[in-house]
Amino acid sequence: MLLVAAATAVRALLLDRTWFYLDDFALITQANEHPLSPMRLTEPYFGHLMPAGRLLADLVVASGRFEYATAMIELVTLFATAGLAVLHLLVTLFGSRRAILAPLAYFLASPLLIPATSWWAAGINHLPALTATAMALAAFVRHLRDNCRRDLVATVGWLLAGLCFTELTMFAYLSLAFLALGYFATGTLGQRTRQVWDKHRPGVVALGLTALGYLAVYFQRAWETLPTSAKIDWSAFFTNAGLVSLPTAAVGGPGGWHVAWAAQLEAHPSGLTRLVAYAVVATVVTISMRTRDCAKRAWLLPLGQGAVCVVLVAKTRVLFGPGIALDLRFYTPLALGITLALGLAFLPVVGATETAERRSSHWLIDRPAPQVVAVAAFTVFAWSSASAFPLLHLGERAPRPWFDGVDRSITEHPGPIELQDLAAPARVIAPPEGLYSHLLAPYGNRLIFPVVVQDDWYVVDNTGRLVHPDLDVARRAQAPAPANCGFPVGSDRTVPLDGPVFGYGWRVRITYTSGRETGATISVGNVDTDISLSAGEHVLELPGDAEYESVRFSGVDPAAGLCLSEILVGTTQLPE
């Protein structure tokens, strides 16, 4: 319990140096814009089916505008819960003994948990999946021992709970099968399978139906992969995972990180770290095999999980290249998988048919001092890797200063604010969620996003200040001759531009004077926009995304005396 509390405190300290980032804003935006409903809860997000995670996003939205304190409380609570669940699993497997503190400490400090404990959008799914997996495994082990139906129901219940957060809970099935076949049966693989089937048939059927039912829903609702024409460099993916990211994370690394792009935070260990990782992993595996019976099989669990992780990330993220296999965010299940392997390789499983029994002694594992030193070294290196994680050191790329600037500007500005619906800086999040109308929805009716803006409208600059936009002019209307009115409009007039316009991103800015208020229809190419023109001198702006060489005004009250002083077509520019 003290280990869990201490590790939770450290994670909370590190988490306090982060804020909402990228996918976080997408989840908040979607929770803001759509009412709570079964349809929204089961809406996939980049291939993830996460109804319970969306409920946690709703809780953050309900707590206030971009209230990160609520998000932090969620992650800290979820991490502590995961730690307690793993402790419960270790006690269930190996009994209440001092030796389980080593694998528990390993799990709590595992670098494979860094993304999930630093990035809210990942943590609200991955951490509950680990908790559910650990609790399901503990219940299943009890079921394997006594064949109690209540434990089977608990196993299925925990799996369903985890699957409500993320499909990653399906990794639990690898561990369930591994424990049943590897430790609660004997003989060849075929014989083991028959033994488990004969003795635990209801459990096999119940778990199988649960898995099939979920997969049917998942593949129908959420599975996203790339066209079969996409080429996957399997060798590069497995090399990056098997020789760089996973072995260094297994010993507390990577130590260093590389930001390939905003959402791809790659492990970047030094050459020395990699060599030390290879040596440590080889030493631990070798010692376990030389001193314990049945130790070799323990390492098959993380190897199998790692292989599945690489296949999944390659199939779903191949467009990002093999470098994506260096991102530890895609290996969260291995934090528990390696922890289990350490325990299963050295400690006997209570009530198991086959288990790790001591064959010979070795000073590195049978004396307390070397164990304490090894765990301490791993923990220090792991926490240093966590403190170096890029989300804790965003600097100029951090989104929070921009939001703080927006909040100050809106607070200082009286009344409703007309905003041209542009996108926030790329460091915040890309469109469509990055559009002001989506991203700033928590400000409610303080912000207005009309199609046509007039006179006093704003955009947000890179510091979060409300500013009047400039226009980088590409086309303009040339008045036929010097006159008091450049382009008088009766009821209908087409004003030619000095060149053609086509494509997207254009804005049409019109300066006009009218003797009285009048309605009008402004036609840009094949796009018609109805507008009310106010009396007096004004400036309006509207989208110009079409193909055209002129701007037409129609439906104007001839008595209004409408006069167009200037028509400009260009792109929005933030003032210097």
Of 212, 174, 181, which Cα lies nearest the Cα of 197?
A: 181
Full-model pTM: 0.92
Q: What is the pLDDT of residue 572?
A: 94
Asked if 302 and 242 touch (Cβ cutoff 8 Å), the reply is no
- Chain centre to alpha carbon of residue 119: 7
Cβ neighbours, 10 Å, residue 229: 5
Whole-angstrom distance, CA of residue 411 vs CA of residue 407:
6
* Distance from C-alpha of 118 to C-alpha of 68, rounded to nearest angstrom: 12
Provide the pLDDT for residue 427.
Answer: 83
- Pairing, β 457-460 against β 264-267: unpaired
Q: 521-575, pLDDT tens digit by residue?
A: 999 999 999 999 999 999 999 999 999 999 999 999 999 999 998 999 999 998 8
> What is the tens place of the pLDDT at every residue in 139-163?
999 999 999 999 999 999 999 999 9
Copy the structure tokens of residue 37: 């409903």
Cα 467 to its chain centre, rounded Å, is: 32
pLDDT band at 362 (very low <50, low <70, confident <90, very high): confident
For residue 202, say if its preceding peptide bond is cis, omega within 30 degrees of 0: no
Please provide the DSSP assignment of 314-351 as one string. HHHHGGG-GGGGGBGGGGTHHHHHHHHHHHHHHSPPTT
All residues at 6 or more sequence positions from 556 whose CB lies less than 8 Å from its CB, including other chains: 489, 490, 491, 492, 493, 518, 519, 520, 533, 562
Residues 378, 249: contact at Cβ < 8 Å?
Answer: no
Query: Residue 483: what pLDDT?
Result: 61
**Interatomic CA distance for residues 323 and 257, integer angstroms:** 12
Average pLDDT over residues 351-357: 91
